[in-house]
A and B are shown apart, each in its own frame.
Chain A
Amino acid sequence: MKNLLLSLLVLASFSIWMTSCGGGQSKIDEIKANSIKTPADPMADWQSNHGVGPIKAFELPESVDQALVTTGQGVYNAKCTACHKIDKKFIGPSPKGILSRRTPAWTMNMILNPEEMVQKDPIAKQLLIDANGSPMANQSLTQEEARAILEYFRTL
């Protein structure tokens, strides 16, 4: 008696589930199609991606600050050139034209906060894969130094 009751109950709930899912071959095809969908290109909406870290979205001023460029070039040469070359992709990408691919805040956050960026930011995640897992080194720069480097990048 008890067993019969249980069987009935299971059957009933299964029927409800079937009905609610719609069922049928078309549904399975739909799920399959979704599962092979190419993920969105993380680079596509770079203009609205400001990265993860201490720097919030900001606009660069019209004119380039030459003094800042000089400082930035010095810091870049001292701390970055082991992995980044101006004229080619080396360990990491060339910074040439970076502001046509990344926002100012994203760029600074990548310099200042690389560990968190490669974990959370979709572009940085992709770049880590592209670099065969070679991480962007945190060179413990100050925000001022990172800002100066950014100014230098504007002139490349």
Chain B
Amino acid sequence: MKHTIKNTLAVLLGSTLLLIAGCTQNNGSNGALGSDIAQRVYVAPGEHDEFYALVSGGFSGQLAVYGLPSGRLFRVIPVFSVDAEKAYGFNEETKAMLNTSYGFIPWGDSHHPDISQTNGELDGRWVFINENNTPRIARISLSTFETEEIIEIPNSAGNHSSSFVTENSEYVVAGTRFSVPVPQQDISIDEYKGKFKGAISFIGVDQETGHMDLSFQIMMPGFNYDLAHPGRGKSHGWMFFSTYNTEEANSLMEVNASQNDKDFIAAINWKKAEELIAAGEFDVMPANYAHNVYDESTHTATSTMKKEVRVIDPAKHPGLVYFLPTPKSPHGCDVDPTGEYIIGSGKLSAALTAHSFTNMLDAIENEKFDGDAYGIPILNYDDVVAGVVQQAGLGPLHTEFDGKGNAYTTFFISSEVVKWKVGTWEVLDRQPTYYSVGHLMIPGGNSRKPFGKYALAMNKITKDRYLPTGPELTQSAQLYDISGDKMELLLDFPTVGEPHYAAGIPADLIKPKQVKLYKLEDNNHPYVAKSEQETKVTRNGNEVHIYMTTIRSHFAPDNIEGIRVGDKVYFHVTNLEQDYDVPHGISMIGANTSELLIMPGQTETFVWEPKQIGVWPFYCTDFCSALHQEMQGYVRVSPKNSNVPLKWTLDGETR
């Protein structure tokens, strides 16, 4: 009897094991239907994601921070658009960040984030992102996830082939999509050909502070400059830009800019440009562009107007720029991790073109030129091309690399990601996207060292993929596991605005650098109150400054009298907390601006212009503690000519 039970148990156990083993094997090849897919993107409560994904917000103007593989949204960093939630562009401290040569602009179109590098590898110091409409480049700290700097780009219009960093973050480059008269002048649009120019800007980056400076511009022919990527390894020192509209059309572009069988990838030798700058071989052009810097010690941004720019004419300097013929209105211009291949995605073609850097140098050395365009030598297509990925799909846009010899290209028209082999140019796999994919991102994809575990495809159209929300639908991102031979779709998640490019980085490169609070001792804001003893209210004519503090759970002062209709009242509020994750907010009834959201140790300012007499409350807008509902105060507003003296108290006492 006992013996029988034992045997039965053994058989049961054995078959269960077999079953489990069977399941595991099956899941590997089941694609999106595999039952372990959910587990592979599941990050348990309290656990952290493996990667950060910094996803551009497109026409939202912002940059969104997601975790991968979960697709969870952590933060939307305000960059080029105002953000009432965070008071960005609303408080007195950050208005200057959105200053331009056209004045304050509350909105932008953010496109291509790129993370700083050291020796061709991601270093997690900063992420840069371009604004397309009013050409600008922003630098965001990856310690505070705040926008620290924005520089406007003069002579540029439609700042699209931006913001890509060289392999030691020497430069962030910004190329103009639309060519314009340079300098701007009142001429007929019909005079486009020859008179319109395309400025390519090289913005130097201070390695200590990250501060950007427009080092020089190369004034290119009047084509459209679409995307760019830096050389790396052997091609470090070169920058590659895709062009279209080499027809130099200026109307009905969808037809007239699509005539030429081949456009160009422009190869720019920026080391050579540096030599020219050092030798004084440049022109100084008058210009007017804003440079906005946020200072972490004063918690305040300042805007400076810059008045000139150094310009290099490539026609005058042989060896600076070469054109590589590339079919057909190439969009993406991507360089593989070794720096040897430059991939042009001819968006009106079905094929991908891979140029060889070695071939290019050889053609240059042997002067195998096929004419020139505005004095810039055109290399022979057959001399530089290394291979073509044939009939890979329709409408190729962008390519990223996994660091294992494979490339992944998105196809907008056929809505798919295609995996192919660098060097043999054979297609290895293809997976659909839902739908109309633009960019894709592999963490570290624009570096010598990609982290080839996941690819994130970013889609323009979602139609039936989510619960409908009226006529306007979300855009989306899709996560693929690319660690095996075949790509596997793991996850769909909606995004903020339209995601153009994204930048991904292992979380371990970012987490240890996080700023948790600002030290009160280091706060150099001109209106700081570092303790309640320093709180006060001052009047200068109709301008009133309130030096206020917050701590759980009260404001000091919280009763203010002597304010008059017609005053301009500045609330300068310092958060005295010195603990992690204890912000306070404040808003005042009738204030024509946003709330403040003040981090520990920080000072922020909002303006209130009282219009009616009475007693008006203000309160903490961020649930800060058990006594948050008690965190409030009152301001008495008297008539314009009143004699009510200025008085400020907390619990009946003046500090």
* Chain A residues with a Cβ under 8 A of chain B: 77-79, 81-83, 90-91, 132-135, 137-141
Contacts and interface: CB of A to CB of B under 8 A. Distances in A.
A140 B549 CA distance: 18
Contacts of B517: 140
B581 to A, nearest CB: 11
Contacts of B496: none
Given A82-B556, A83-B551, A132-B627, A138 B531 contact: no
Interface in B611-631: 625-627
Interface stretch (B39-47, B161-169, B383-391, B571-579): B571-579
Contact of B520 (A78, A134, A135, A137): A78
B184 interface: no
Interface string B390-428: 000000000000000000000000000000000000000
Contact of A91 (B554, B578, B579, B582): B554
Classify the secondary structure of A's interface with B. loop
A4 B549 CA distance: 78
Given A91-B554, A134-B553, A135-B552, A82 B579 contact: no
A133 B627 contact: yes
B531 A140 contact: no
Contacts of B549: 82
Contacts of B578: 79, 137-141
B533 A133 contact: no
Nearest to A77: B531
A139 B533 contact: no
Contact of B626 (A79, A82, A91, A134): A134
A137 B552 contact: yes
A79 B578 CA distance: 8
B627 A82 contact: no
A82 B530 CA distance: 10
B431 to A, nearest CB: 47
Contact of B533 (A81, A90, A138): A81
15 contacts: A78-B530, A79-B531, A79-B576, A82-B531, A82-B549, A82-B551, A82-B556, A91-B553, A132-B627, A133-B625, A134-B552, A134-B553, A137-B577, A140-B578, A140-B579
B531 A135 contact: no
Contacts of A133: 625-627
A94 to B, nearest CB: 14
B627 A134 contact: yes
B533 A77 contact: yes
A82 B553 contact: no
Interface in B521-537: 530-533
B653 to A, nearest CB: 9
Contact of B551 (A78, A132, A137, A141): A137
B626 A132 contact: yes
Contacts, number: 51
Interface string B550-579: 011110100000000000000000001111
Given A79-B531, A90-B651, A137-B552, 16 more contacts: A78-B530, A82-B531, A82-B554, A82-B556, A82-B576, A83-B551, A91-B553, A132-B627, A134-B552, A135-B552, A137-B551, A138-B578, A138-B579, A139-B577, A139-B579, A141-B578
B554 to A, nearest CB: 7
A91 B631 CA distance: 12
A107 B627 CA distance: 24
Given A79-B520, A91-B554, A137 B531 contact: no
A134 B549 CA distance: 17
B648 to A, nearest CB: 15
A106 B280 CA distance: 69
Interface string B577-612: 111001000000000000000000000000000000
A77 B556 CA distance: 15
B579 A137 contact: yes
Given A79-B578, A81-B532, A82-B556, A135 B626 contact: yes
Chain A to chain B: the 6 pairs with minimum beta-carbon distance, closest first: A133-B626, A138-B579, A82-B551, A140-B578, A139-B578, A82-B532
A78 B627 contact: no
A49 to B, nearest CB: 24
A78 B531 CA distance: 5
A131 B64 CA distance: 40
Contacts of A140: 517, 578-579
Interface string B621-655: 00001110000000000000000000000010000
Nearest to B535: A82
| Residue among A133, A139, A140, A141 having the largest count of chain B Cβ atoms under 10 Å | A140
A135 B578 CA distance: 14
A141 B521 CA distance: 12
B598 to A, nearest CB: 14
A82 B627 CA distance: 15
Contacts of A90: 651
Nearest to B517: A140
B534 to A, nearest CB: 10
Contacts of B532: 81-82
B623 to A, nearest CB: 13
A45 to B, nearest CB: 28
A134 to B, nearest CB: 5
B625 A135 contact: yes
A141 B519 CA distance: 11
